[in-house]
Amino acid sequence: MSELKLDRVTPSASGGEGQFPLNQWYVAGFSSELTDKPIARTLLGQPVVLFRTAEGQAAALEDRCCHRSLPLSFGSVEVCGIRCGYHGLLYAPNGQCIEIPGQEKIPSRARVKSYTMSEKQHLLWIWMSDSSGTAPTHNAPDYPHHDNPEYSFGTGVFHYDAPYQLVHDNLLDLSHVGYVHAKTIGGNARQHMNSKLEVTSEGNVVRAIRMMPGTPPPPTYKAAWPFAASCDRWQECEFDVTHLRIFTGAMEPGSGQIDAPDRGGFHMRGFHGVTPETAETTHYFWSIATNHHPDMPDTIDITVQQVKDTFEEDRVIIEAQFANMKKFGSAASWTDIHVDAGTNRARRIVEKLVQQPDSR
């Protein structure tokens, strides 16, 4: 039986201390989202304004002017910073006020909290530190598939009325796809449940791998690749505290070793940034990258739309699940089954990191 931890879904104003794993890089958004307008986004309970200066620098500040507390996201972006939309204070990306219109002297305390950002491979990563302001201890994660010329990719930004760990559970255990996603990536539900799930972990990373040789190709695969009645299919999920990578795909039956790193066939590489908004709500930043068959049209646009529909199906399930958890309360425990090995391991890692942010 698992504990529900409903006590932890109560929002607090503590900046995430005791609620979320801190001292981690989280996804704040996609590079393409940052135009000349600021974006207001609450991350781990902290209201943040994201913007890109005209010089191209991505920045994140506390979304509050130090003068009279208007959200800075109501302001406008300028060459070297963001200007408050009330009385015009101008802030540099490091949070320091650098101009007070009509006043020469700028008090040193005229500043707001700034966050360290790292922009790479089309992703905006933000370092969410503990209350002592620990500086990044490692580089933001790499995700090279967005830059791989053999792949096309599309992205989406979803909002869930559910805690982030329910999203982790959903992504790390794909045994639900046969039941929830029959119209797109589903395939044979029983075959999913009967296939061996291999769960391993290394540090704070959990891998859940399922191989399904000789399985019927689901509709999304058939649209992109000339599969006949059967394919050899794999699902490899990797959980890494703030994001998951899900590598799924299939090849002609018996056309190669199903778990070889350089296997052929149709590849779908999913990136999933799961960033708590509050204890009860979650930002979900996803991308899907696929290769395409030389004799088939590139179906990336259709695939992205189908993936979007698929995640919409997940959202409905997860939000209904959470609404029901609240109705029944923490007295209603969960009964584990064989598919829960990976998700329970990930939950233990999150639990550990909430208590001790820097444990490995």
Residues that bind ligand FES (CB under 6 A): 65, 67-68, 70, 84, 86-89
Segments in the chain forming alpha helices (H): 164-172, 177-180, 189-194, 219-224, 300-328, 341-355
* CA atoms of 149 and 152, how far apart (whole Å): 7
Q: To the nearest whole angstrom, how small is the minimum distance from the Cβ of residue 171 to Fe ion?
A: 7
By C-beta, is 252 or 309 nearer to Fe ion?
309
By C-beta, is 85 or 154 nearer to ligand FES?
85
By C-beta, is 111 or 269 nearer to Fe ion?
269
Which of ligand FES, Fe ion, none has residue 89 at its interface (CB below 5 to 8 Å by kind)? ligand FES
Q: To the nearest whole angstrom, how small is the minimum distance from the Cβ of residue 75 to ligand FES?
A: 8
Both tokens of residue 212?
């399904």
Both tokens of residue 25?
């890089």
* CA atoms of 263 and 213, how far apart (whole Å): 14
Which of Fe ion, ligand FES, none has residue 250 at its interface (CB below 5 to 8 Å by kind)? none
By C-beta, is 22 or 307 nearer to Fe ion?
307
Comparing every residue's Cβ against Fe ion, the nearest one is: 314
* Total residue length of the chain: 360
Q: To the nearest whole angstrom, how small is the minimum distance from the Cβ of residue 50 to ligand FES?
A: 18
Q: To the nearest whole angstrom, how small is the minimum distance from the Cβ of residue 287 to Fe ion?
A: 15
Burial bucket for residue 342 (CB in 10 Å: 0-12, 13-18, 19+):
buried
3-class secondary structure, 50: strand
Tell me if 232 contacts Fe ion by CB under 5 A. Answer: no
Q: Which of 314, 318, 347, 349 binds Fe ion (CB under 5 A)?
A: 314
Identify the H or E element spanning 25: strand 24-30
* CA atoms of 68 and 321, how far apart (whole Å): 41
Q: To the nearest whole angstrom, how small is the minimum distance from the Cβ of residue 191 to ligand FES?
A: 59
β partners of residue 286: 156, 272
Which of Fe ion, ligand FES, none has residue 219 at its interface (CB below 5 to 8 Å by kind)? none
Q: To the nearest whole angstrom, how small is the minimum distance from the Cβ of residue 114 to ligand FES?
A: 16
Q: Cβ of 158: how many Cβ atoms within 10 Å?
A: 15
Build a one-symbol-per-residue string for 268-307: x at contacts with Fe ion by CB under 5 A, - elsewhere. ----------------------------------------
By C-beta, is 86 or 158 nearer to Fe ion?
158
> Phi-psi category of 241—alpha, beta or left, where left has phi over 0 and alpha has psi -120 to 50?
left
Which of Fe ion, ligand FES, none has residue 314 at its interface (CB below 5 to 8 Å by kind)? Fe ion
Side-chain half-sphere exposure of 83, counting CA atoms within 13 A: 14
3-class secondary structure, 73: helix
Which of Fe ion, ligand FES, none has residue 159 at its interface (CB below 5 to 8 Å by kind)? none
Stretch that binds Fe ion, among 118-126, 236-244, 312-320, 322-330 (CB under 5 A): 312-320
Q: Cβ of 97: how many Cβ atoms within 10 Å?
A: 21
Return the DSSP state at 204. Answer: T
**Residues 6+ positions from 94 with CB-CB distance below 8 Å:** 114
The amino acid that residue 243 corresponds to is: H
By C-beta, is 63 or 314 nearer to Fe ion?
314
Which of Fe ion, ligand FES, none has residue 209 at its interface (CB below 5 to 8 Å by kind)? none
Q: To the nearest whole angstrom, how small is the minimum distance from the Cβ of residue 233 to ligand FES?
A: 55
Q: To the nearest whole angstrom, how small is the minimum distance from the Cβ of residue 106 to ligand FES?
A: 12
Sites of contact with Fe ion (CB under 5 A): 314
